[in-house]
């Protein structure tokens, strides 16, 4: 593998890891507040569909982004209504949202566009354009440094840079602000937070709002990357993000590393469709399944070692 090939694989890694990172951070805020969010997959689908539809109709991906965030927020509020307000089972609520999104996007898509649940292709301003950082053209021909800066660091869309910036921002919010301290406390001991006079319900809904915004960005990125919405285009990324969250032990910087690892495996699977090891040829199906195989390995090997927030999945009943 030469240097340019390595740069191309790493570039694909960053692109493929972007929606996973945004979704993983969404789950991090939600679960740190004690709300298990299995519905990340449904939020991704809803956001991708509405972003694709709005971008096609208006010709602006930024309006599509607002639509995608709106759809994801609506699903977040449904999850909050069921699991926080009515104290329902958070796992069942999340799974129900996933089924709802999977069916509703296809039915509404067929009704609106008559394309089997797909949206028409997005072109021009209907997709995010790549941002070239300063001096990328001037440095492009410099050996080693040029390809690193021009092809890997520069040339991504706005949401990729927003996702990367969201990692230190999430760390700062969670560990350096009063809001973050209270949010983490709600996930560990909601009764102590309630005793201090802070509303557990408001904090958990605030966490779901943040999760909805981040999932909306991730879904919009998927729609832009694929130039439109297609049925089940999230392809299990919501579940992979949850596995990455467990692997990251509910910490922002570890979440970046975990999602980049998943992105790298997907990039390798896309680039190397078949690999020959002597007399053995690894089939393309195995390479494409690598991220999902890693998900199973992580869930089997790290669930016992990663300690989740103690109040996760438990509806809070105010003591009288």
**Residue 188 · residue 310 · CB < 8 Å:** yes
Residue 143, φ and ψ in degrees, nearest 5: -55, 135
pTM of the model: 0.93
State which H helix or E strand residue 196 sits in. Answer: none
User: What does the alpha-carbon distance between residue 90 and residue 308 come to, in Å, rounded to a whole number?
Assistant: 15
pLDDT, average across residues 123-131: 90
User: What does the alpha-carbon distance between residue 156 and residue 141 come to, in Å, rounded to a whole number?
Assistant: 19
pLDDT tens sequence across 163-205: 999 999 999 999 999 999 999 999 999 999 988 888 999 999 9
Alpha helices in the chain (DSSP H): 3-32, 40-58, 61-80, 90-113, 136-139, 145-147, 158-176, 178-188, 190-195, 200-225, 237-247, 252-271, 284-288, 290-302
Whether the predicted pLDDT of 272 surpasses 80:
no
Whether the predicted pLDDT of 72 surpasses 90:
yes
pLDDT tens sequence across 134-155: 877 777 778 888 888 888 888 8
What pLDDT, on a 0 to 100 scale, did the predictor assign at position 149?
84
What pLDDT, on a 0 to 100 scale, did the predictor assign at position 229?
94
């Amino acid at each position: 593998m030469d240097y340019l090939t390595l740069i191309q694989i790493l570039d694909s890694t960053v692109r493929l890891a972007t929606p996973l990172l945004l979704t993983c951070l969404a789950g991090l805020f939600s679960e740190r507040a004690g709300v298990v969010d299995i519905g990340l997959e449904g939020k991704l689908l809803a956001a991708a569909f509405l972003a694709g539809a709005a971008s096609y109709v208006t010709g602006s991906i930024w309006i599509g982004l607002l639509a995608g965030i709106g759809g994801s927020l609506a699903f977040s509020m449904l999850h909050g209504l069921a699991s926080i307000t009515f104290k329902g089972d958070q796992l069942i609520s999340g799974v129900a949202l996933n089924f709802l999104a999977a069916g509703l996007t296809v039915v509404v898509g067929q009704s609106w566009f008559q394309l089997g649940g797909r949206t028409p292709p997005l072109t021009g301003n209907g997709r995010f354009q790549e941002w070239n950082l300063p001096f990328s053209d001037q440095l492009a021909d410099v050996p080693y440094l040029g390809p690193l800066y021009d092809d890997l660091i520069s040339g991504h869309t706005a949401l990729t840079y927003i996702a990367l910036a969201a990692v230190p921002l999430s760390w700062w919010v969670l560990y350096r602000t009063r809001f973050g301290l209270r949010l983490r406390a709600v996930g560990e001991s909601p009764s102590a937070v309630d005793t201090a006079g802070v509303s557990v319900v408001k904090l958990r809904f605030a966490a779901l709002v943040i999760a909805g915004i981040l999932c909306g960005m991730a879904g919009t990125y998927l729609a832009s990357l694929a130039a439109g919405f297609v049925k089940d285009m999230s392809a299990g990324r919501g579940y992979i993000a949850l596995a990455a969250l467990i692997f990251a032990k509910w910490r922002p910087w570890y979440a970046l590393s975990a999602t980049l690892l998943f992105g790298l495996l997907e990039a390798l699977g896309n680039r190397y469709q078949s690999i020959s090891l002597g007399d053995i040829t690894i089939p393309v199906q195995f390479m494409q399944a690598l991220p999902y195989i890693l998900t199973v390995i992580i869930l089997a090997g790290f669930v016992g070692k990663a300690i989740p927030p103690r109040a996760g999945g438990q509806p809070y009943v105010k003591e009288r």
